[in-house]
Amino acid sequence: MQQPMIVLNTQKREEKRKAQLSNIHAAKAVANIIRTCLGPRAMLKMLMSQMAGIVLTNDGNAILREIDVSHPAAKNMIELARSQDEQVGDGTTSVIVLAGEVMSIAEPFIKKNIHPKVIVGAFYQALDHALEILPTLATKFDPSDDDKLKMVVRNAIGTKFLSKYEDQMGGMAIEAIRIIDRKVNNVREIDIKKLIRFQKIMGGEIEDSYLLKGAVLEKDVLHSQMNRRIENPRILLMDVSIDYEKGESQTNIEIMNDEDFQRMLQIEEEYIKDMVEKIAKFKPDLVITEKGCSDLAQHYFFKHGITTLRRLRISDSNRIAKVTGATCVNRVDMIKEEDLGTKCKLFEIRKIGDSYYAFLDECEEPEACTIILRGPNKDIVNEIERNLMDGLKALKNVLLEPLLLPGGGATEMSLSQKLNEKAMSIKGIEQLPYRALSGAFEILPRTLIQNCGGKTMKVLTQLRAKHANGKNKNWGINGLTGELADMSELNVWDSYAVKVQIIKSAIESSCMLLRIDEILSGKSKKEK
């Protein structure tokens, strides 16, 4: 009798149906964590972060980013929320809830030994049909209409902590997006990450938050007697260390007498004085450098009446260049008159709380901006930033693709009804998972009803009846009351780009997990 041959030296191994069911249960567990965070009646989660901080939020991506999971399928679901947030900035909770339901409906077919390729094939077929149906449900709108844009922002942040301040925050978000919206080579570019800075200042009230058409730096002037307020400043932006040159490697100097040492100090002083004289020749009022500025240089700048700031981040330097019209100079010898920025009308140092802030305010035609966020504590200010970022990304999506879909689960119910009708034309065993997937879209309106304590079966049956004739495509769930409502009357709309991304990501990631037939553990670092 032949002895069994051991090929894989791994202790953890799951095969075939066991691996697939394990992935399904992991996906359902992750979806159940954040299901209560969907809709305007969403609950908050309190998370203890790995750095011993506390996070209070109902943002799906922020929650999943903090939790610690070990199952590979659960990690895949968390990655799904992250990619959704990076791609369109909204719908992170919806995509996880939908993906969990798609995995859940596949479970009975796996248990009946239907091959995963058949299930996946039916799901992809349903996805193609869903993407064909979505444009027929969409509504075009005018991106130049501020009232419509306010409605988009209100829908993006209406389910968040900022829902009470949606008018103020919506106005700030629209103004910020208008500032950074530009065309480069006939291509529309809206770069939120680089051109909009959130300056978080603890203290004050949330209503004290405002948009600054300029830049803010948490800096004070280097010399106590330098000007702290300058109107119409000439600004020089530099990436130069205003100090004497130091050797890049070890440098040895042999000094034979005291005069040599004095001469060496004198040369250093002359070098710094020469640098300052070359800068002062262009008569700047404010010099901002990304690198250091020595005490001696500060003295010479003060003598010339020049205010100085030092040690900026590169991102701040780029933003200052956008708002002031200055060009960052890399060498003192290369400074030109056109490199100086003159678009800023006011430079001022302001003390807020215990910190000093340098404000570059009242800029003409700025290409970047700063949003000042105020709040009683760090947790609230961080949540305001997350919510406002969702609103900004929602605006970006509708400006790049000006199409809207009815919210409140209306789009999902329409898709469910139309895919259920198409299922009749699918032949063979694929019809069963296809029809099951059409029912999976109902999870979003069902969750909205559950989260506000409505009568789930009764209201969901009424919603199915509304969509049965195909004429009431805008009818969905009022997330505040849990009852039926016309979304066009409530002005509840979702971005077309976000909805397409949710459906594609949820179904494609579920199909990938269903195609896994074996889970193996790799080598640890110690074994390697």
Considering the candidates 57, 93, 411, 447, report the single residue annotated as catalytic.
93
Active site residue 327: no
Considering the candidates 59, 285, 316, 494, report the single residue annotated as catalytic.
59
Residue 483 backbone phi and psi in degrees, to 5 = -115, 170
d(CA 479, CA 487): 11
Considering the candidates 92, 308, 411, 447, report the single residue annotated as catalytic.
92
Active site residue 59: yes
Active site residue 308: no
Which structure tokens are listed for 198? 């959130």
Give start and end residues of each alpha helix (H) in 200-253: none
Task: Count CA within 13 A, CB hemisphere, residue 498.
Answer: 31
> Where does 378-481 show beta strands of DSSP type E?
403-406, 475-477
Which structure tokens are listed for 360? 């570059």
Residue 482 three-state SS: coil
Considering the candidates 390, 411, 447, 494, report the single residue annotated as catalytic.
390
Residue 304 class from Cβ within 10 Å (0-12 exposed, 13-18 middle, 19+ buried)?
A: middle
DSSP state of 103: H
Is 263:255 a contact under the CB 8 Å cutoff? no
β-pair partners for 14:
519
- What is the layout of strands, in order, in the sheet containing 403-406? 139-140, 403-406, 493-495
Residue 146 three-state SS: helix
Measure the CA angle with vertex 313, ends 311 and 315; round to 5°: 150
Active site residue 354: no
d(CA 356, CA 217): 9
Q: How many residues does the chain have?
A: 528
Which structure tokens are listed for 157? 């942040």
d(CA 301, CA 226): 9
Residues catalogued as catalytic: 59, 92-93, 390
